[in-house]
Amino acid sequence: MKVIKHSEQALKTALISKNMKLVKLYENLESREKSLLNEAFQPDSVLFRPITLHSESDWISSHPEPTQDFEQFYNDPYRSRPTSEKSTIYVQPIGSFGDTKVSTEDYMKWLKDYCEAFYYSLTVKILEPVPVSHTGCAFRVNEYTCNLQIHAGDILKYLKKKKPRDAFCIVGITMIDLYPRESWNFVFGQASLTEGMGIFSFARYDSDFYSASYKGRLKKVKKLPSSDYSVFDGYYTPAVTSVLLLRSCKTLTHEIGHIFGLRHCQWLQCVMQGSNHLEESDRRPLDLCPICLRKLQSAIGFHLVERYQALLEWMDEDGNGMEAELRNEAKMGLLKPIEAFKECREWVLKCLDVLQK
C-alpha cells in the first residue's frame, strides 16, 4: 500500500493559496470554519487522512492527472457557477428504481434530501421518472455480461432537450448499465460539464452485479429490435439496501461536483477522489476534504455549520434512536436504511464538534 503524503506546507497552500486576495478571503471566514478547514494540514488530524493506493489499478496510478488547488479552481474561467436565476439541480430518474419493498419515490426522496444537505442552500428537484422508451435511446445486450445497456450519449441528447430554464444542471440517474459506443464494454457515467448535464448508472453498484447469479443477465442473448423497448418491462432492479443508498449518494454528489468544476482530488481522502473500481469507490469517504469543501463553499456560499447540521439531520431522520417497532418498519423498506452511514455519522459529529467549539 502506498500513501500519498503531501507536506503540511503543500496542503496549506492548496487550501489557502499564496495569492493575497485569496488569503484575505480565507482570513475573513469565521474562526470556527477556519478551525475545521485547517485540519487539512494538521499532521495527526483524525478528520482528514492522506490518500492510500492499494493497487496499480487504483485511479491515481492508472490515470495521472494534474492536481487542482483552491486557487486554480477559483480562477477557472470555464467552470459553471450557480446564479440566482440558475440554481436548481434537477435529477431525472430513467427506468425503474427499487424493488417491491422500496418504491422509487422513497429512494428518490432520500437522494434529493441528501443532495440538498450536501449542496446546502441549493434546491434539488426530482423530475417525474420516465421509462427508457421515453428517451428514444439506443440499447443493446452486453456480449460479456449479458445485461441490458442503454446508450449514454443518446440519454444526454434527451436531457439537453429537457433541461429547465432555471437549472444549474440536470443529471440523469438509472439502474440500467450504460455504454458510450459500440466498441466499449461499459461506462459508469458520461457528462458534458459545459452544458451542465450528466447521466450516471448505479447498476454496477449492486453487490451482485459481477456474480454469475446476477439477475440482470438475459438468458438468451439475441439481437434486439431497436424500437422495441418491451425488453425493459419488468427488467431486474436491485433491492435498495443501505449499501446501495450509500454508494448512490457518493456517486451522485461526486458527479455533480464535477459539474461545479471540482476536479479529482489528490490531496486527502475525499469523495472527489477518482475511482476505477467498486472497492476503491467504497474506500472513498462520503464527504469532501477541506480543500474541496472550500471550493464548494466559494461556489455556493453556505455556512459550514449549517451544512454539517443538515447532513446529520439527514442521517438521523427516520433512522437513529428509533424504537424497536420502527426498526421493523425499516426492514420493511418504509424507513430510510441508514445502517451503512454509521461511521459517516460519527465523522459528521466530530466535524460539528470542531465547528461548535
Interhelix angle 104-118/304-316, nearest 10 degrees = 160
Does the footprint of Zn ion cover residue 16 (CB under 5 A)?
Answer: no
Angle (nearest 5°) at CA 42 between 36 and 45:
75
Joined together, the cell numbers standing for residue 344 give: 459517516
End-to-end alpha-carbon separation of the chain, Å?
36
The grid coordinates of residue 64 equal 495521472
Q: One symbol per residue from 289 to 318: x for binding Zn ion (CB under 5 A), - otherwise; what is it? A: x--x--------------------------
Stretch that binds Zn ion, among 71-79, 117-125, 220-228, 284-292 (CB under 5 A): 284-292
Spatial distance between the Cα atoms of 180 and 188, rounded to a whole number of angstroms: 9
Q: Rule CB under 5 A: say whether 137 interacts with Zn ion.
A: no
| CB distance 169 to 80 below 8 Å | yes
Residue positions counted in the chain: 357
Is residue 259 a contact point for Zn ion (CB under 5 A)? no
Burial of 147 (0-12, 13-18, 19+ CB in 10 A): buried
Element (H, E) at 174: strand 167-174
Which residue of the set 255, 323, 329, 343 is catalytic? 255
- Closest CB to Zn ion among residues 254, 336: 254
Closer residue to Zn ion, CB minimum distance, 91 or 292:
292
Q: Is 40 in the site for Zn ion (CB under 5 A)?
A: no
Site membership for Zn ion, residue 37 (CB under 5 A): no
Any contact of residue 286 with Zn ion (CB under 5 A)? Answer: no
Active site residue 116: no
14 binds Zn ion (CB under 5 A): no
Query: From CA 139, how far away is CA 173, in angstroms rounded?
Result: 16
Number of neighbours of residue 19 by Cβ within 10 angstroms: 14
Q: Crossing angle for the helix pair 342-355 and 304-316, nearest 10 degrees?
A: 150
Compare residues 43 and 321 and give the one whose CB is closer to Zn ion.
43
Where in 116-135 is the site for Zn ion (CB under 5 A)? none
Q: Looking at beta carbons only, is 171 or 338 nearer to Zn ion?
A: 171
In whole angstroms, how close is the CB of 181 to Zn ion at the nearest point? Answer: 20
C-alpha cell at 71: 486557487
Q: Least distance in Å: CB of 24 to Zn ion?
A: 23
Q: How many residues bind Zn ion (CB under 5 A)?
A: 5
Report the nearest approach of Zn ion to the CB of residue 7 (Å). 17
Restricted to residues 263-282, the positions that interact with Zn ion (CB under 5 A) are: 265, 270, 272
The least CB distance from residue 327 to Zn ion, in Å, is 35
CA gap 10, 354 in Å, rounded? 23
**Nearest distance from C-beta of residue 295 to Zn ion, angstroms:** 8
Distance CA(347)–CA(329), nearest Å, equals: 26
Q: For residue 155, state whether it binds Zn ion (rule: CB under 5 A).
A: no
Work out how close the CB of 270 gets to Zn ion at its nearest, in angstroms, rounded to a whole number: 3
Nearest to Zn ion of 206, 255 (CB atom):
255
Q: Grid coordinates standing for 324?
A: 424497536
Maximum pairwise Cα distance, the chain? 65
Residues 215-244 as x/- pattern, contact with Zn ion by CB under 5 A? ------------------------------
Contacting residues toward Zn ion, per CB under 5 A: 265, 270, 272, 289, 292
> Which residues participate in catalysis according to the annotation?
255
